[in-house]
Structure 1
Amino acid sequence: MTIGPHLTISNGFEAAANEAVRIGATTFQYFTRNPRGGKAKPLHPSDIEGYRRIAAENDFGPIMAHAAYTMNLCSADPSVRDFAKGILKDDMARLLEIPNSLYVFHPGSHTGQGVEAGIAYIVEALNETLTESIPPVICLEGMSGKGSEVGARFEELRAIIDGVTLNEKMGVCLDTCHLYSSGYDLVNDLDGVLEAFDRIVGLERLKAIHLNDSMMPFASNKDRHEKIGDGTLGFEAIERIVNHPKLSQLPFYLETPNELDGYAAEIAKIRAVRRT
């Protein structure tokens, strides 16, 4: 099973990989830069080589690069969109140097223009940025539907993918907290949710899962992550998710409100109920 936490890489990729191994993880997620900022730290080849060695020795799955929250590709403000495009292009260049990596970003908030206008701007940015040389799968993250977020419905994710010329590079990362909050009932109808995703987007596009419980009730459109088993999804639903035959081979990334010891306990608890 490939599972890991969200880690800081302030001390480098090699240090983050060592932390992951210490807590029983076989992957990790990280922000490409300060989540509220714009400038990324330079990459160092020796650090990447150290990460590569640890990942090979410990059978890591793909690590996940998470874009900054400030990257809003579909804002009504052209300067915000241009700033976001700059982040996206820089992230794509950096990922060329990091082996076995996925990339995930929030589609953004249309800030009052409407979903169709927001999707058009996201598609424009991706078509300006993606090239044949970019190897990683670019994952749209499904959202909870708060405010003017784009991407809370499967149909919106599909519309973005359909508009991208090089859409063979596009995938989806589903967040269990976001899904439940956006009105997809993972607790009582997991099969139905996956059937709908397959029909609208296609399960072949599903590349990763953000595995989180939720502090908020079903269909609340609120994005509040909770520790595994302590929220409204509950541990039984999480157990069904990690063991579902259509999901079990995907990488799972924890974004729960935890420190390292808490992540270690969650990873152990999840591994204990894995049946495959």
Structure 2
Amino acid sequence: MLNIGTHLSSAKGYLNMGKDALKINANTFQFFTRNPRGFQSKPLNEEDLTGLSDFLREHSFAPIVAHAPYTLNPCSTRPEVCELALQIFQEDLKIMEYLPGNYYNFHPGSHLKQGPEKAAKKIAKLLNQVLTPEQHTIVLLETMAGKGTEVGKTFEELRLILDQIQCQDKVGICFDSCHLSDAGYDLKENLDNVLKEFDQIIGLDRLMAFHLNDSQNPIGSHKDRHALIGEGFLGLDTAVTLINHPVLDGLPFILETPTDLEGHSKEIALLRAQYNLASQS
């Protein structure tokens, strides 16, 4: 089965996100826990969260993904920024406990010329403060394009973080096709080797979600500019190969393409048709 969805707004409430996903034939989705470019969050609504959890179970959704704000930087050079990152993690993981069995994804941050080793130590320190054996959410580190001093542009940088985490079963990785390509990983011509390299360095058992995006820039550009599926340098054939690859089977694929709900509905329909064709051949 193809698990595919898109990024939805929680402005109308959590349960309504599930209903919107169902309308566009999605069986997973992603949402921001708070303002993506800031830190403000809306008041906790236990009834709404429980309603969404019941809805996901009733309609057999694949795991969904909550996304931390882009501005979060747990490896900042400023202590107050690191403290804010810790606070956000604590608050967001509390929200996610009302949606057990799902994922919380975040960008590892920017090391701001400290170097990836020092950054990895800071990120792991934060995760060791918030992760517990009892929690029902897996936290995902996202692969990054390598803009500026972004951490996570290579599998080795992600491994630096993972090696220092105590609750190993509470962390995983989220691939982003645009980010991976922009970072220099050749998904278009050499996908099997990319997956093999990831398996050797981190382990495929750590790969738990996939942001499916085309890229406005060629491989190795370190730009991070998403494009519609089939309208960028990766192309439709790459997206079709990704959703049909046996190693990636069963992962939640999340579209973060620059379009609206109607546009995402069309992308989901296109990819479902391509998935069905491949499974019938």
TM-score by shorter chain over 0.5? yes
Q: After superposition, give the CA deviation of every residue in 1:29-60 in whole Å (9 maximum; x if it has no partner).
A: 00010012213212323212332333233221
Amino acid at match of 2:256: E
Amino acid at match of 1:27: T
CA contact (8 A) 1:172 1:206 kept: yes
Indicate the residue corresponding to 1:273 in structure 2. 274
- Following the alignment from structure 1 to structure 2, what is the Cα–Cα distance between the partners of residues 84 and 96? 18
Q: Does 1:99 align with 2:100?
A: yes
Counterparts of 1:74-113 in structure 2, within 5 Å, are: 74-113=75-114
Coordinate RMSD, CA, aligned: 1.1
Q: After superposition, give the CA deviation of every residue in 1:125-158 in whole Å (9 maximum; x if it has no partner).
A: 1111111222211100000011000001001111
Amino acid at match of 1:261: E
Amino acid at match of 1:155: E
The two structures have a TM-score, normalised by structure 1, of 0.97
- Following the alignment from structure 2 to structure 1, what is the Cα–Cα distance between the partners of residues 60 and 72? 32
Secondary structure of the equivalent of 1:30?
strand
Indicate the residue corresponding to 1:224 in structure 2. 225
Structure 1: tracts of 5 or more residues without a match? none
CA contact (8 A) 2:185 2:194 kept: yes
Counterparts of 1:131-170 in structure 2, within 5 Å, are: 131-170=132-171
Secondary structure of the equivalent of 1:5?
strand
Amino acid at match of 1:143: M
Secondary structure of the equivalent of 1:68?
coil
CA contact (8 A) 2:39 2:69 kept: yes
* Number of equivalences: 276
Q: Does 1:68 align with 2:69?
A: yes
Bigger shift: 38-47 or 190-199?
38-47
Secondary structure of the equivalent of 1:75?
coil
Amino acid at match of 1:203: L
Indicate the residue corresponding to 1:117 in structure 2. 118
- Following the alignment from structure 1 to structure 2, what is the Cα–Cα distance between the partners of residues 140 and 48? 24
CA contact (8 A) 2:67 2:104 kept: yes
Amino acid at match of 1:218: I
- Following the alignment from structure 2 to structure 1, what is the Cα–Cα distance between the partners of residues 249 and 230? 18
Indicate the residue corresponding to 1:215 in structure 2. 216
Secondary structure of the equivalent of 2:273?
helix
Indicate the residue corresponding to 1:34 in structure 2. 35
CA contact (8 A) 2:50 2:98 kept: no
The two structures have a TM-score, normalised by structure 2, of 0.96
Bigger shift: 135-144 or 53-62?
53-62
- Following the alignment from structure 2 to structure 1, what is the Cα–Cα distance between the partners of residues 179 and 148? 13
